[in-house]
Amino acid sequence: MCRRDTERGQSTVEFALLLPLLVMCVGLLLTVVAVTQSQLMAVNASRNAARAAVIHTGDDAQRAAQAAASASTSLRPLQVTVIARDSFMTVSITARWGLPLPFVSALLPPVTLRASTTMLREEIGSFP
Q: For the chain, what is the mean pLDDT?
A: 87
Q: Which amino acid is at 117?
A: T
Q: Is 48 exposed, middle or buried (0-12, 13-18, 19+ CB in 10 A)?
A: buried
- Whole-model pTM: value is 0.79
Q: Do 73 and 42 contact (CB within 8 A), yes or no?
A: yes
Give the three-class secondary structure for 58: coil
The string of pLDDT tens digits covering residues 90-101 is 999 999 988 777
Instruction: Show the domains of the chain with their CATH numbers.
Output: 2-120 (3.30.1300)
The string of pLDDT tens digits covering residues 67-77 is 999 999 999 89
The string of pLDDT tens digits covering residues 10-41 is 888 989 999 999 998 998 898 889 889 999 99
pLDDT at 6 over 70: no
Closest CA to 83 of 46, 111, 113: 46
Which of 2-6, 55-59, 79-83 has the lowest average pLDDT? 2-6
Closest CA to 57 of 110, 10, 103, 124: 124
